[in-house]
Amino acid sequence: MTIPRLELMAVLIGVRCLAFVKGELNVPIETIYLWTDSQCVLKWISTKKDLGVFVKNRITRGTSTRLLCDNSLWWHGPEWLLIDSHQWKIFTCEDVLANQEYKCELKVGKKTTESSALLCTKEIEGNQIETPYGIQCKNFSSYYKLIRVTAWVERFISRIKKISVKTSKILTCEELKIAEEKWIKFVQRRNYSDIFSAIYENKPNNLQNQLGLFISDDGFPRCKGRFENADLSEAARIPILLPRGEDFTRLIIERIHKDLFHSGVSQTLSKLRHKFWIPQGRSTVRQVLRHCLVCRRFEGGHYGMPKMPPFPRSRVSQSIPFASTGLDYLGPIYVKYDGENKKRWVCLFTCFVTRAIHLELLNDMTTEEFLYAFRRFVSIRGAPCNILSDNAAQFKLGSATLDLVWKKVIKCDDVQNYVSNAGIR
């Protein structure tokens, strides 16, 4: 802010302070003085010329009650309003001074702003085209429900207009087709008004040139491609143009996707193009199918495996075979003994480090049989440092038995004398 404007603000604050103090004192004051040494501010206050907005808003003075009571223009308006309208003066904008003042007050970029506002207004008006019978497409989750509701409303209105309609409780194919055509024309008019104008007024349009658009006899913009002479249906040779961002387009894609038993993007797009053409069709179909709950349920990836913990030290440390051993049973298996089929089990010992295995055949799953198998294993492979098994009853009882035997062995006098002589603690 410049210094003259700051001085003007100081005068404005002083005036407001004087008015506040005068209103709060409630005592008669004969004269009020407000001093300033700014010649620029004094000239702004005393001049009658039209000043800028900032200065004008701060020095404009009102009028007194007496002058307002005698002001005829304020109470009655201009005198020419009282005469006949045929005698009113016609005002023109030919005044040079008025035009100059108008141009001086115009801000930079005003023309661009006005043009943008005009375009926005046209766009809003284009988007406010009435839907068929005021039905909101976004409130429907099924294409068939939308078309059938529209057809029922169409039949009801035809009855009110006393137009001959079907009286059965079932909608006919013709009524459903008319309802579908109404929605197609609605979305086309709302999104492709520029294409209609370009075709009717014979003006160039980029999308029209790319897709070879034309208005068919039924009033739909259709796409003309290289299959015009192919032995296909009319809808496949010249498909109807549909916008990609409409709820109606989404419902059509979902309907075709379900009719094809939730096929993929390529199959759905191929079936869709037998009647309709959507710009950027593949990405549009992919976006719709991404929200299909059935496909997400059956095609989604499996749950990720949890992060695997590091191997225990007994599995990654160098050691002799079966120093760390895993233990489990398998079976039963049937063997022929004395002409009869009998059950047998296998006790499996596996080395944690080398993954070598040792098998022992057992007659049953008793603790006694397990201890026999374990003794045979120790006799062949050597005593392991540690054994890991599940909580099977024979394993738990065997462990308790081994602990009991080991404690008795340790406390034996011969063992104590031997380890003492060998220097073992």
Task: Please write the tens of the pLDDT for every residue from 290-310.
Answer: 989 888 888 776 677 778 888
Domain assignment present for residue 127? The answer is: no
Domain assignment present for residue 86? The answer is: no
Domain assignment present for residue 26? The answer is: yes
Higher pLDDT, 91 or 400: 400
pLDDT band at 418 (very low <50, low <70, confident <90, very high): very low
The pLDDT assigned to 61 comes to: 56
Kindly state whether residues 218 and 290 are assigned to the same domain: yes
Domain assignment present for residue 89? The answer is: no
Residue 100 has pLDDT above 80, yes or no: no
The pLDDT assigned to 50 comes to: 75
Domain assignment present for residue 122? The answer is: no
Kindly state whether residues 163 and 62 are assigned to the same domain: no
Torsion over CA of 7, 8, 10 and 15, rounded to 10 degrees? 150
Of the chain, the percentage scoring pLDDT greater than 90 comes to: 15
Residues 343-366 have a mean pLDDT of: 87
Kindly state whether residues 60 and 197 are assigned to the same domain: no
Residue 329, domain extent: 325-422
Domain assignment present for residue 143? The answer is: yes
Q: What CATH number does the domain containing 403 carry?
A: 3.30.420.10
Domain assignment present for residue 103? The answer is: no
Number of domains in the chain: 3
Kindly state whether residues 283 and 362 are assigned to the same domain: no
